[in-house]
Chain A
Amino acid sequence: MTNAPGHKSYEVIVIGAGHNGLVTAAYLAKAGKQVLVIERRPHVGGAASTEEVFQGYKANTGATDAGLFLPRIVSDLDLESHGLGWVESPALVFAPQLDGNSLTLWRDPNRSVAEIAGFSKTDADRYPAFLRLVSRLAEVLSLMLTVSPPSLPEIRVGELLPWLRTALKLKSLGEHDMMEFLRFLPMSVADFLDEWFESRALKAAIGSSGVTGSFLGPRSSGTALMLLYQAIHAGKAGFRSSRFVQGGIGRLSQALAEVAIQHGAEICTGLEVSEIILDGNNASGVRLGNGERIDARAVVSSVDPQRTFFGLVGAPHLEVRFVREVKNIRLHSSLARVHLALSGLPSFPGASQAGPGGNLSGHILICPDLDYLERAFDDAKYGRFSSRPLLDIVIPTLSDPALAPPGKHILSIDAYYAPYALQEGGWDEKRGELLDVVLQTLAAYSPGITNLITNTQVITPLDLEREYGLTRGDIYQGQMGLDQILMMRPVPGYGRYRAPVKNLFLCGAGTHPGGGVTGAPGYNAAREIMDLRTD
C-alpha cells in the first residue's frame, strides 16, 4: 500500500477501501483491469478494521463478526492463503438474566436443546425444527445475495434469468414452507418467535439479531426478514451466522487488499477523494484532497449513496427527481459502539466455563426479553439513546489473546439504540452519558466489571459518520426495510450498481443486498462492471 498513486490515469478507480470496495477491486484486478483504490483513513478496512484503540490493545472498531462473508469470495480469491483464518466459537450467544440465570445457545444444537430445557421443555423440543426451518428459508435468501436485482417494473429477460434459481429454490421448499416464507417476510421477529416459543429469554436471545443495524424494534415488520438474513450461511448453527477472523476482522480486509495488490491493483491510504470529476454526464476521474486529478475510464464508489451523489458528484449535476430520491433514502443510526480495556476476564453468573471455548466465547447479549428491546427502541424513536440498551458484546481476546497484553482483555459492545438526531444536545456532549448508561447496564449483569476497566472508547453515531464516512451513522448505508431492498436499493430504478452518470458505479452496502460484512455488494458490482463493454 502506498501514499500516492503511481499513475495519472487508471482503468478503474475505487473510492474507499472498506471490505466491499476491496472485493470489487480484487475481482476487477484479477480480471486484468488496472485498478486504483483510494482510502481516506491510514489503513484499509473501513468498518471492518482491527485497530490499536489503546496502547497494546487492538479492537475490531466496527464489525466484529464475519459470519455472513460469502464463502464464494473466500474461495475465488483464495483468501485463506493470504492469512485469513477463522475462529468458530463454541458458544453462539450467552444471554444472562437479571436473576443470575443464563441461557447459552451453542453452535452445537444438542447442547442448546439441553440448555433451553432449563427454561422450557416444549421450547427445547421445538428448537431443532425451528433451526431447520430458519436454515431452509435462509438458503433461499442466500441465493439472492449474488444476483443483481431486476429493473422492475420493466421486464428484461436477461435480468430475470439469474433469479430463476431463487424462484426454483423457493418452489422446492414445498407448498407449506413456501407459504411460511411468504408469511414470514413481512413479519415482526416478535410475532415470528411467539409462534414457536414461550420462553422470553429464548425469544430475546434469538430475536435480538432481528434488529441488527436497524432502526426498528422487535415488534416492527421487517425484523423477521433481518433475522433470516443474519442466519444466511449459519448452517447447523441455525439461527445466527457467526465466525470470527483470527487476528481480528481487519485481517479479512488485509487479505482482500493483498489479493488485489497481487493482481496488480494499487491501494493508496491516507488520501481523500474530494470530487468525482464529470465530463458532461460521464465520470472521467477523481480529484484528490490535495487538488491532484487522476483520470479513469470508470469510477466505483463504495461510499454511501448520499455522500457519493451529494458529496462527491454534486447535486447540481444530477436530475432533480434523482436528487429527491437520494435525499429521501432512509438513513438511520441504530447503535453506538463502546470498547473497554479490561485488566481481567469479567464474570457473569451462570457462565460456568468462563475461559476460551466457554460460554463467553461468542456473543454476550444483554437483552432479557423482547419487551426490554422494544422499550429500548421507544426511547430512540423520540430522539434519546436507550436508557436500558440492548448490548451485543464480544470478547475477542478469548479466542485471540494477542489482541491485548497477556491476561488482559478487550470487550467490544454494540449498544442499541443510539439515534443520530438527538432531541436534546449533541453527541459530542452526550458521549459520557452514553458510556455511563452502557456501563451501568453491563454492571447489573456482570458485578464488579467496572473495577476491571482500565480504558474506554466510545464511538457515537456522529463518530461513525465523521470517522468512517457512514452518513447519519447508518452502518448499513441505508436501512434495509422492505421498501429499500432489491430494485428499490439505493433508489428505485438504480438497483444494478449504476448511477445516472455514465461510468460511475456503486459497490457499498447502500446497494443490494445491503449491509453486514458480506462482500456481496462489492462482488455484484464487480460482475456488473466486468459484464459491460467498456467503450
Chain B
Amino acid sequence: MMPVEYDAIVIGGGHNGLVNAAYLARAGKKTLVLERRHILGGASVTEEIFPGFKFSVFSYVVSLFRPEIIRDLNLTQHGLMILPLESTLAPLPDGDYLYRGADHYESYRNIARFSPRDADAYEDYSRSMYFMAKAVKYVLGIIPPDPASLHLNDLSGLARMARQFLNLDGDQFYTLVRLMTMSSADFLERWFESEPLMGTLSASGIIGTFLGPRSPGSAYVLLHHYMGEIDGVFRAWGFAKGGTGAIAGAIASSARALGVDIRTNAAVSKIIVQNGQSVGVALENGDEIYARVVVSSLDPQQTFLKLIDPALLPDELVASVRKYIYRGSSGKVNLALDAPPELACLPGPGPHLRGAISISPSVDYIERAYDDAKYGDFSRRPYIDVIVPSMIDPDMAPPGKHVMSCFVQYAPYHLRDGNWDDQREAFGEAVVDTLAEYIPNLKDIILHRQVLTPLDIERTTGLTEGNIFQGELSLSQLFFLRPAPGLAKYRTPIRKTYLCGSSTHPGGGITGAPGRLAALEILKDWQP
C-alpha cells in the first residue's frame, strides 16, 4: 500500500487549476498542484521573451475574473491589481478612426461623426446589453442542471433557471433569445448602420471561435464577452499589472498561503487508475504520487486520451471526448518596440494608446478574414486586437520602449497547405504588414518579434488545437453539454476524478469560475 500523501492532486498550474487548489486548501484539504512548465499560469503567463521586455505571452486582458474569487482568496492582498483598459480605437483604411472610451460623451461624439442615429442607438444598445449580461450572469455561477435527470437538485435547478429567464420582461426575453441564436452582424444590424462601429462591435463576437460575424451563434460570444466586471464596473476590460502572469502569481501566492504545495517542472504522464478509481498520478520522471482525489485542469482530450489508459474508459466517454470540438482559430504576435507606435490616424501620444486598438474596419473585413480560414489558410488581412501594455504598466519594458501584444484571427489550426512551423514567419509577416498600414513607423521600431501559431499555443500550454477556451464556445457545447453530457458537472465516469478547466462550465476566459465550481462539487462529494 503506497502512502497517500495528499487529499487532492491538481494537474496543471493554469489559473483554473490554481483556483481549484486554493479552494480545496481553504476547506482544509492537503493539495498539490503539478505544473509541467517552469512557470505557472498556463495561458496566463508573463515571460521576458526578449531581455528587458515582459510579454503577456498568450492571454493579455482580463475582465471576466469572478469577483467572489478575488474576495475569497484575498487576491488583492496577494498582488492582484487590474488597470483599466479604457478605450477602443478602430483605425480605418482611409485614415479616419472610430474611438470609444470611458468618457461617455466623447464616445457619443465620435460615433456621431459616422452616424448620429448610431450614436443615439449606442446608448440604448449599451443599456440593453448591460441588462442582458446581468440577467445571464447568474448562469456563470451555477452548476449546470442536467435536463435528462429526475433528481430534485436538477429539477429545481432547471425550474429556477426557467423562472429567472421567464421573469424577464418581453423585450429582454426576446433580446436574449436573439443573442443566443443570431449572428453578431445580424444582431448589430438591428441597432446600427455604420460599418466601423458594427465591425468593431462584431469583433467581440468572434474571439476565440471559428465563426465569422455573419455566423449564427456569434452573438452569443458577444454576450459572453459583455459579462465582464472589474471592481463592479460592468463590461470593463483591464490589464493586470505585471501582465496576465501576475494573475496566476497572485492566485499561486494565495494558494501557498493556504497550504497548497506547488511543483513546477513536474509533468504528469499518467493518472493512476485502480478499480475504476483514480488513486494518484505518475510523473514523467517516474515518480508516483498518491492522493484521494485527482483533478485535471487540462482539456478532455489531454486528460482522457493522453493521461489515462483508453482500455479503462467507457466507450461512450471516449466517443463524447472525440466529438468535442476545439478548432483553434487564433494566433498571437508579441513585439518588442524601440519607441512608441505612431498611429497614422492619431499621431503622437495620447489616451488612445493606453486602450485597445482594433483592426476591424467593417463586418465584411472580418468575414473575409474568416473565409480564408474556413478553407485552411490564415487570414491574409487578419482581425487584430492590439494593446501596448507598457503604456499602462511602464514596468513591462525599459523606459521609452514598449511591448505590443497582438491577438490575431484567424489562424486555423488545420492548414490546407503545409504546416505551421513552415508558415509561422509568413503569418507573422501578414500581421506586421497589416498593422504597418495603420502604424507607419512600426517596421522601423521592431526589436524583436515573437509569433505564436495555434500549434505553438498547443505545444506550450497544452491547449488542444490551440483553442484558447479549451473547446469552442458554441451552443452545442455549452452549459449542460460542456464538454459532453455526463461530464458537465466536473465529475467523470471514473471515481475520484474531476475536471476543472475551461472545458467545463462556464467556459473560457480568465474567469476562475470552472476552477471554483469544480472545487465546490469536489467538496460536496467528499467522504471523511
Contact = CB atoms under 8 A, between A and B. Distances in A.
B59 to A, nearest CB: 26
Interface string B207-237: 0000000111100000000000000000000
B465 interface: no
A330 B148 CA distance: 34
B367 A381 contact: yes
B306 interface: no
Contact of B216 (A176, A191, A221, A492): A221
B173 A153 contact: yes
Contact of A221 (B148, B169, B215, B375): B215
A153 B367 contact: no
B147 A182 contact: yes
B257 interface: no
B216 A183 contact: no
A371 B215 CA distance: 16
Given A153-B166, A186-B475, A483 B481 contact: no
B364 interface: yes
Contacts of B177: 483, 488, 492
A195 interface: yes
B526 interface: no
B181 A483 contact: yes
A493 B170 contact: yes
Interface string A156-185: 000000000000000000011011001111
A374 B374 contact: yes
A204 to B, nearest CB: 15
Contact of B364 (A185, A330, A374, A382): A382
A328 B186 CA distance: 10
Contacts of A183: 476-477, 481, 485
Interface size range of chain A in the complex: 20 to 34
A155 interface: yes
A213 interface: no
B373 to A, nearest CB: 11
Given A183-B481, A216-B216, A483-B177, A153 B323 contact: no
B190 interface: yes
A71 B493 CA distance: 44
B371 interface: yes
A219 interface: yes
Contacts of A184: 476
Contacts of A222: 181, 216
A187 B174 CA distance: 21
A298 B316 CA distance: 56
A99 B214 CA distance: 34
B27 interface: no
A382 B214 CA distance: 11
Task: Summarize B's interface: helix, strand, loop or mixed.
Answer: helix
Contact of B170 (A153, A175, A371): A153
Nearest to A180: B485
Residue with the highest number of chain B CB atoms closer than 10 Å, among A195, A221, A382: A221
B148 A175 contact: yes
A153 B169 CA distance: 7
B174 A492 contact: yes
A282 B515 CA distance: 58
A129 interface: no
Interface in A497-521: none
B323 A221 contact: no
A378 B182 CA distance: 18
B29 interface: no
A220 interface: yes
A221 B216 CA distance: 5
Contacts, number: 83
A374 B214 CA distance: 13
A482 interface: yes
Interface in B157-204: 165-170, 173-174, 177-178, 180-182, 186, 190
Interface in B482-521: 485
Interface string A363-392: 000000001001100100110000000000
B379 interface: no
Given A153-B170, A175-B148, A222-B216, A182 B178 contact: no
B216 A220 contact: yes
Contacts of A493: 170, 174
Contacts of A488: 174, 177-178
A227 B186 CA distance: 22
B325 interface: yes
A481 to B, nearest CB: 6
Interface string B368-392: 0001001100000000000000000
Interface string A191-207: 10001000000000000
Contacts of A221: 181, 215-217, 474-475
B135 to A, nearest CB: 12
Given A155-B166, A492-B174, A483 B182 contact: yes
A221 B218 CA distance: 10
A492 B180 CA distance: 15
Nearest to B486: A179
A4 interface: no
Contacts of B166: 152-153, 155
A178 B149 CA distance: 11
Given A183-B476, A186-B475, A488-B174, A220 B215 contact: yes
Given A153-B173, A481-B182, A186 B217 contact: yes
Contact of A187 (B167, B173, B182, B476): B476
B474 A186 contact: yes
Contact of A378 (B149, B165, B217, B371): B371
Given A153-B168, A186-B475, A481 B216 contact: yes
B476 A330 contact: no
A152 B162 CA distance: 11
Contacts of B167: 153
A341 to B, nearest CB: 38
A378 B372 CA distance: 11
Contacts of A219: 215, 374
B72 to A, nearest CB: 33
Contacts of B475: 185-186, 221
A214 to B, nearest CB: 10
B489 to A, nearest CB: 14
A107 B523 CA distance: 55
A191 B190 contact: no
Nearest to A179: B485
B374 A179 contact: no
A179 B367 CA distance: 32
A220 B370 CA distance: 13
A216 B217 CA distance: 12
A306 to B, nearest CB: 15
B390 to A, nearest CB: 39
Contacts of B148: 175, 178-179
Contacts of B215: 219-221
A176 B319 CA distance: 12
A179 B481 CA distance: 8
B190 A195 contact: no
A191 B173 contact: no
Closest 5 pairs between A and B when the two form their complex, measured CB to CB:
A186-B475, A482-B181, A179-B485, A492-B174, A175-B148
Given A178-B148, A382-B364, 20 more contacts: A153-B165, A153-B169, A153-B170, A175-B485, A182-B147, A183-B485, A186-B181, A186-B475, A186-B476, A191-B476, A195-B323, A219-B374, A220-B216, A221-B217, A222-B181, A330-B186, A371-B375, A481-B181, A482-B181, A492-B177
23 contacts: A152-B173, A153-B167, A153-B168, A153-B169, A153-B170, A175-B148, A178-B147, A184-B476, A187-B474, A191-B325, A191-B476, A195-B323, A219-B215, A219-B374, A221-B216, A221-B217, A222-B181, A328-B190, A374-B374, A483-B182, A488-B174, A492-B173, A493-B170
Interface of A: 152-153, 155, 175-176, 178-179, 182-187, 191, 195, 216, 219-222, 328, 330, 371, 374-375, 378, 381-382, 481-483, 488, 492-493
